[in-house]
A and B are shown apart, each in its own frame.
Chain A
């Protein structure tokens, strides 16, 4: 089908690129009071970009019956669309990365159900009365990118991962937390995820409050991507091309604490975001974004590379429904040397944050859904404003109560002077390997300042 679409576009005089995706998803889900269910999902679709008379257009389809419709639509969008600033690239040598586990691909559903049962029984045994949500998901899929410059690359991939939501009542509140595990190469990761979930829910039965002030904060690995949101926005090629990145022209300059080294690693074996090529067929690599605090690279695709006078860094992310945009594939932050017990012991009064959302609902709410789905952090300054969704108050090294709602603020480019330590162990968030960050001084306000 993708060859047919490409051929139709070429016959209409256009340069073209087709992104073809086909994935079969098998999902076992469970919720307390709802029981277990099983479903399968086949996703198959095609995204077409065309360049014609200096302009670029895009259309997509999951309807194989009428390929000419998507070609017509892409050419119409092209006629009205933006100036094309690049050409579709030819084939290039691709790196090796392990993506397909044949045993996993053939794993029967019965085994997934048995695994789910084991996980549920373990969680219930460890914390009777827990309200549990489980999502065990296996994906077997293929991608192919072809273009009229001769590029033709494809891959087959398997993923197997677990998502857990656990909740328990504390007073009138429902405290819930999440955990995830990549089971593609480490089946034992499921048990470890359960233990972490239960351990967190069992930390305390109290609620805690904080008076406004400045406190030491441990951002658990799960909260670090939210904290560093302004950084990733500043590194994004779209922000750079719009002239809004505070990191423009700062390559090879120190921009963060010298202990921080950050990669976008598209070549992790069995990584959720791994692939030998990006969404435009550019070879992926383990891209160093920041090395010992020094800026090394931006997240760029063909469009933003052309707009900023740079080369693509192989960071085009997409599915068939959307044209590519620069983004992270697998985020990796190098671990440090600090043990969590040491970090906690150093805190007289502070908090550890497990889950945080950028901003209270506000300025940059997602316009189209009328809700603050992912309010954007301020790319022009690096300021962050995070609402704690789940945290624990720490006093004299002990957990003394749950926290939800306090607002933390600061600036990620000034974190350097306050970064006390980086965790020695990385948390696996499926798409990221991230250690905790211990920051000595963060402004904390209660939810809704009085």
Chain B
């Protein structure tokens, strides 16, 4: 394979070229209520070749190769030459390399029989349905094994194996016309074994959904707040992390000014990291899809914006170094700037310490979804608790947090010592590409946060 890929670029007069060949296997099992809705295995094979020539990009993606790869490269080069030359568009280069990164065999989900996977998700689904007032569920098991060959015109050949396995579980509780739901997902690159023995967590999902039937709607207002690691990590990923992606900044000059390096984003204790090298997390990679090694990048250090996330082109355009964040959803897409594992570094505080300092506030847990527009965000928490005189009290629901992300970060008063990382089985979506990513945070306390209702 390596020789075939390297041959593609021999004597091709392009500024830069790369090709990814990907072979993968995916399994998905879905229960809705008691009904088995889907049990699917999918085998994929395909590639993506792209060239930069005279400042123009051209690309070809394919399933089976019907012609030698070199012919594909030649035809793709001809496409690039149909466009008028563009001066000044270039990419950062990397040195020649040979490296192979293989999977821990115990993490390979294709070694686990399909029956065992079905039994696992069926059991968790039954646990949800056995709980009082749970009327229906949506339970998904999914896994993927992906083998990627990468080669660039710089004679950089890399081979990488990755495997993901996860479950996503949702319980819907009903009492008359009152319907409430709660969901969690569990996914890392740690193999099928990491999904065993989750019964306590699954029972917890059903319990929360049921308890929410008795919860009261939050009273809108501005409150001191503590948010849990999942909600905080989700907020950081959605409302801040995407603002650090350099391809977005290159297209939005106004946003680029708002997110210029050196601006203060929060208190000195705040540091936000994107780290593709963390072992076994959902967004972990050895190399990105342009062949750049994964790295740990401090986006924010001691409250100040220090770095953006780059691909080869944005790094060249902005005079930055590569960060290993050029990622593609699959072989049929071009790589774009994406996060890997993004998290807030922990502080020193215990959760009790963060809460006991609040006289009249709110403790928000979990995240349904988030909508953003430049710096503005609207994020719905899954539920919460009121905080009165330093203690948690009534359960609350219908909690929507809104605000300006930089103003919100500036309101941080405390960081817990309890960093937790999360990942969803299929990941998150940008430009239509779903991609596995990790996100995390410790508990975070805010001086004030705007709370409203949907």
Contact = CB atoms under 8 A, between A and B. Distances in A.
Interface of A: 31-45, 57-66, 69-70, 73-74, 76-77, 80-82, 109-110, 113, 131, 169, 172-174, 242, 321-323, 359-365, 367-373, 375, 385, 387, 404-405, 407, 447-450
Given A369-B427, A448-B454, A362 B43 contact: no
B374 A322 contact: no
Contacts of A62: 43-46, 63-64
Given A59-B41, A323-B40, A36 B83 contact: yes
B223 to A, nearest CB: 13
Given A367-B183, A449-B454, A41 B61 contact: yes
Interface stretch (B5-13, B263-271, B363-371): B363-371
A375 B183 CA distance: 14
B234 A368 contact: no
Interface of B: 23, 32-33, 35-46, 50, 55-64, 66, 75-76, 79-80, 82-83, 86, 89, 114-115, 118, 138, 140, 142, 168-170, 181, 183, 185, 220, 234, 238, 250-252, 254, 332, 334, 367-371, 373-374, 378-380, 400, 402, 424-429, 434, 450, 452-454
A34 B250 contact: yes
B8 to A, nearest CB: 15
A110 B82 contact: yes
A370 to B, nearest CB: 4
18 contacts: A35-B86, A38-B79, A39-B58, A39-B61, A41-B62, A58-B39, A62-B45, A73-B43, A77-B114, A80-B114, A362-B369, A368-B140, A368-B424, A370-B185, A447-B402, A448-B454, A449-B452, A450-B452
Contacts of B79: 38-40, 109
A371 B425 contact: no
A38 B220 contact: no
Contacts of B46: 62
A361 B450 CA distance: 16
Contacts of B251: 31-34, 131
Interface of B is mostly: strand
Given A36-B83, A64-B45, A405-B378, 9 more contacts: A45-B44, A59-B42, A59-B43, A70-B41, A77-B40, A368-B185, A372-B369, A375-B369, A385-B454
Contact of B453 (A44, A109, A448): A448
A230 B169 CA distance: 24
B115 A73 contact: no
Contact of A368 (B61, B114, B115, B426): B426
Contacts of B60: 39-42
A448 B452 CA distance: 5
B63 A60 contact: no
Contacts of A73: 41, 43
Contacts of A242: 32-33, 35
Given A43-B63, A321-B42, A369 B452 contact: no
Contacts of A42: 60-63, 66
B168 A367 contact: yes
Contacts of B23: 63
